[in-house]
Structure 1
Amino acid sequence: MEQAQVRTVKRVWPAKGDVSVSAIVAGLIAVTVSFTGPLLIIFQAAKLIGLSETQLSSWVWAIAVGSGLTGMALSAFFRAPVILAWSTPGAVLLVSGWSAYSYAESIGAFVVAAVIVTLFGLTGVFSYLMKQVPEGIISAMLAGILMKFGVDMFISMKQLPLLVLPLIVIFLVGKRVLPRYATMLTLFAGLGIAYAMGRLDFGGVAFSMAYPVWTTPSFSWNAVIGLGIPLAIVAMASQNATGMGVLRADGYELPATPLVTATGFMSILLAPLGSHGINLAAITAAICTGKESHDDPGKRYVAGIACGLFYVGFGLMGAAIVSVFSVFPAELVAVIAGVALLASMGSSLTGAMSDPVHRDSALITFLVTVSGLTIGGVGSAFWGLIAGLLASWILNGRWLGWRRK
């Protein structure tokens, strides 16, 4: 695994010569994947509780602008691609149980969840726990997360072969001729082919600016226990843990404490505007931390800054921006996400199997993560991590003074 040269600098904007088209496109693809999938869960949750258009628009504004500004700042400071996003598992949790609480009570629960995450970051507890996880298990967890996107790319061929097959060929040719721009060429070729096939129609797209709307939090034990604490657990287990895993898998040994603290603090500020939580990203982060972003790990931070800029730009348009991405064929999104993540999949699988001591544990982590197992609203990535650590302890840990040689 290549080791990224992580450093902090005073300069805010990218250094001369660091900016590349591939890094900017990686940031755009990361945001596109977020807006074509996870954001639709936000709409489902908003419909469930009966939010007004202004409240929904404020929610989208808060999570997108908050993710963008914080990600830009962290990426520029650490000179590493730090990608943030809203909590998708958290949104799923809202869909399953939000209707039992008022909107003001929910906002109060959002604040409590953000405070818990911030405390985990400030005390260093989260950083300590992450240091106890072997690299092979982290890589296996990431490989399991990304595997679905590679498989979906080829499954989509059954639905729309005339689009998917040419794009895969274009990507492979691009990797041979212009490897740094292969993903970009695939994206633009996909848009052109989809338009020629009549699968893109922007006629019904309407643009409008979004504005934040303040809601005074109301705190109730029922909402804190039913929403706040579960949201905090999901944020730490399914988002921040996997997000740190993505960074580590691609060689970015960043300190967890400032990253988690920053996401928690921003979540506190934006909760009254509707944000249910901003966390480290995992899937979309892998698009920006891998080789498809830039061959040089030290220059991939530009993808983090670009991702943040796109988040802010789209967030200012609020809910209306979703109508743009909703016209993208699902097969096109599947291919773009798949090819953008291929390099990360490969390096993660290599890292998972490279350590003979933890190889079996890593394999168990990978299989549990791929299984899609969900318990208590917490996704398979976390349970894969737990299963791998348990297997590692059984295989390699100390039992009553006895340790395997």
Structure 2
Amino acid sequence: MLKEISPQAIFMGCLTAFVGFASSFAVVLHGLQAVGATDAQAASGLMVLSIAMGLCAIVISLSTKLPVSIAWSTPGAALLASTGAISGGFPAAVGAFLVCAVLIIVAGLFRPLGRAVASIPSPLANAMLAGVLIGLCFAPVKAIAFNPLLGLPIVLAWIVVGAFKRLWAVPAALAAFVLVLAFGIEMPAGAMSTIGQSLLPHIELVQPLFSVAGLVSIALPLFIVTMASQNIPGIAVLKVNDYNPKPGPLFAVTGLFSLLSTPFGGHAVNLAAITAAMCAGRDAHADPDRRYWAAVVAGIVYIIFGLLAGAVTAFVALAPPILIEAVAGLALIGAFSASAMAAYQQPENREAAAVTFLVTASGVSFGGISGAFWGLIAGGMMMALQRLVQMAKD
């Protein structure tokens, strides 16, 4: 087995992990903090998620010999950011994470549930995702308005580098953020000492609290977003590269690793979509049977990054929140544009998609239940009504 590893796979695995972590860890931190996590709890969640997705990638790829990349649910973290704190605080959010993980496992093992998720109309699922993401996508503009000297370098780095190499755009924005933080913001006394102390891994155990608000506002939308925008596209990417795994077992394993991470603040891990193409493509190796090592190496590097999550969080905490939100927003612009385009592709479903998007993006909650759920309900009712009217005309 070790004879199949190659320098090409090692390089692509390291690159995959760097891009996957650097391009979206800000989204994860912001999402966890938005639903009530303290800095320590958010760092714990980031650490266990990175370790869980690393271990999951190693286990699946070595057992199947397929280049299965694993990621945390970036759209799910954006959903948390748009949902905000619910009754019961972070323990209630953790209870919802646990329910979501169980639903993912059941969806993998129980085919009717998996088919039910897959049958959610694509325009509505994409419109809900676009509505969830748009709030964070405003952050780069708000960062420039907050302080042009701090916000503009981050946005310009993303624009300039992205014009030449799109894959490096978000890492470039992250590098600009680090430089802005290092040279543009006065560090408080003892800041470097705090960061140094945070190098030691530390996890926070959170007692889950189960509530109706957590189930409806977080668990169900998180499950739908993770399945529709991560797991199902992840399978599609593998198939495009001539790999044909059985989806159910892969979903169930990602759900199991999500379940293991929830007591420590992790929201969900899933099949990767964007980084899946990096490990499954020719750049990982000319021989398709040897590309799985790229996913294994990526998993190892994710674990290393996870162990450094405390220091990363301590460093990020020194910056004004709007700056890290700006990096997160830049990381989500591609996902927002793709989901928005997909939502409005079918003329007959555009009004239903628009209703879903607007209700979700409004951020308004009813009865303690977030707009993401109501957006899906409103869009579904609109679509059903339009189809009934059409049937009556025919």
Give the TM-score normalised by the residue count of structure 1. Answer: 0.69
Q: What's 2:334 paired with? A: 343
Q: Distance in 2 between matches of 1:214 and 1:248?
A: 27
Summarize the Cα distance change of 1:404–1:371 in structure 2 as closer, same or farther, 3 Å threshold: farther
Q: What's 1:166 paired with? A: 153
Q: What's 1:40 paired with? A: 33
Q: What's 1:152 paired with? A: 139
User: Residues 72 and 308 of structure 1 are in contact (CA less than 8 Å); yes or no, is this contact kept in structure 2?
Assistant: yes
Summarize the Cα distance change of 1:196–1:186 in structure 2 as closer, same or farther, 3 Å threshold: same
User: Residues 209 and 318 of structure 1 are in contact (CA less than 8 Å); yes or no, is this contact kept in structure 2?
Assistant: no
45, 49, 52: which is aligned to 1:66?
52
- Aligned: 1:197 with 2:184: yes
- Residue 137 of structure 2 aligns with an amino acid whose one-letter code is G
How is 1:305-320 mapped onto 2 (pairs within 5 angstroms)?
Answer: 312-317=303-308, 319=310
Q: What's 1:237 paired with? A: 220
User: Residues 254 and 270 of structure 2 are in contact (CA less than 8 Å); yes or no, is this contact kept in structure 1?
Assistant: no
Q: What's 2:229 paired with? A: 246
User: Residues 131 and 360 of structure 2 are in contact (CA less than 8 Å); yes or no, is this contact kept in structure 1?
Assistant: yes
DSSP 3-state at the match of 2:357:
helix
Q: Distance in 2 between matches of 1:99 and 1:23?
A: 31
User: Residues 249 and 348 of structure 1 are in contact (CA less than 8 Å); yes or no, is this contact kept in structure 2?
Assistant: no
Q: Distance in 1 between matches of 2:161 and 2:199?
A: 37
- Residue 127 of structure 2 aligns with an amino acid whose one-letter code is A
User: Residues 174 and 182 of structure 1 are in contact (CA less than 8 Å); yes or no, is this contact kept in structure 2?
Assistant: yes
- Aligned: 1:209 with 2:200: yes
**Cα shift at 1:363:** 1.0
Summarize the Cα distance change of 1:13–1:341 in structure 2 as closer, same or farther, 3 Å threshold: farther
334, 340, 353: which is aligned to 1:362?
353
The structure in which a higher percent of residues are helix is 2
Q: Distance in 1 between matches of 2:32 and 2:182?
A: 24
**Cα shift at 1:330:** 2.7
The percentage of aligned residue pairs carrying the same residue is: 23
DSSP 3-state at the match of 2:198:
coil
Q: Distance in 1 between matches of 2:96 and 2:162?
A: 47
**Cα shift at 1:387:** 1.9
Summarize the Cα distance change of 1:128–1:56 in structure 2 as closer, same or farther, 3 Å threshold: closer
- Aligned: 1:325 with 2:316: yes
- Residue 28 of structure 1 aligns with an amino acid whose one-letter code is F
DSSP 3-state at the match of 1:253:
helix
User: Residues 240 and 260 of structure 1 are in contact (CA less than 8 Å); yes or no, is this contact kept in structure 2?
Assistant: no
Q: What's 1:5 paired with? A: none
Q: Distance in 1 between matches of 2:6 and 2:223?
A: 26
Q: More displaced, 145-154 or 313-322? A: 313-322
User: Residues 26 and 328 of structure 2 are in contact (CA less than 8 Å); yes or no, is this contact kept in structure 1?
Assistant: yes
Summarize the Cα distance change of 1:71–1:111 in structure 2 as closer, same or farther, 3 Å threshold: same
Q: What's 2:113 paired with? A: 126
DSSP 3-state at the match of 2:268:
strand
Unaligned 5+ segments in structure 2 are: 238-245, 285-291
The CA deviation string for residues 236-295 of structure 1, in whole angstroms up to 9 with x for no partner, is: 412121122223896853876445422442355456xx336642479xx78x469xx97x
**Cα shift at 1:350:** 1.5
Summarize the Cα distance change of 1:371–1:135 in structure 2 as closer, same or farther, 3 Å threshold: same
Q: What's 2:289 paired with? A: none
The CA deviation string for residues 276-332 of structure 1, in whole angstroms up to 9 with x for no partner, is: 6642479xx78x469xx97x9887999987885565335435755531221244343
The CA deviation string for residues 143-191 of structure 1, in whole angstroms up to 9 with x for no partner, is: 2122112212101212111122233233322233344423333322332
User: Residues 356 and 379 of structure 2 are in contact (CA less than 8 Å); yes or no, is this contact kept in structure 1?
Assistant: yes
Q: Distance in 2 between matches of 1:359 and 1:297?
A: 34
- Residue 130 of structure 1 aligns with an amino acid whose one-letter code is V
User: Residues 28 and 306 of structure 1 are in contact (CA less than 8 Å); yes or no, is this contact kept in structure 2?
Assistant: no
Q: Distance in 2 between matches of 1:326 and 1:135?
A: 37
User: Residues 83 and 304 of structure 1 are in contact (CA less than 8 Å); yes or no, is this contact kept in structure 2?
Assistant: no
Q: What's 1:374 paired with? A: 365
Q: What's 1:275 paired with? A: 264
DSSP 3-state at the match of 1:96:
coil
- Residue 122 of structure 2 aligns with an amino acid whose one-letter code is E
71, 75, 86: which is aligned to 1:83?
71
Summarize the Cα distance change of 1:270–1:331 in structure 2 as closer, same or farther, 3 Å threshold: closer
DSSP 3-state at the match of 1:37:
helix
Unaligned 5+ segments in structure 1 are: 1-10, 48-52, 218-222
21, 25, 43: which is aligned to 1:28?
21
Give the TM-score normalised by the residue count of structure 2. Answer: 0.70
Summarize the Cα distance change of 1:116–1:191 in structure 2 as closer, same or farther, 3 Å threshold: closer
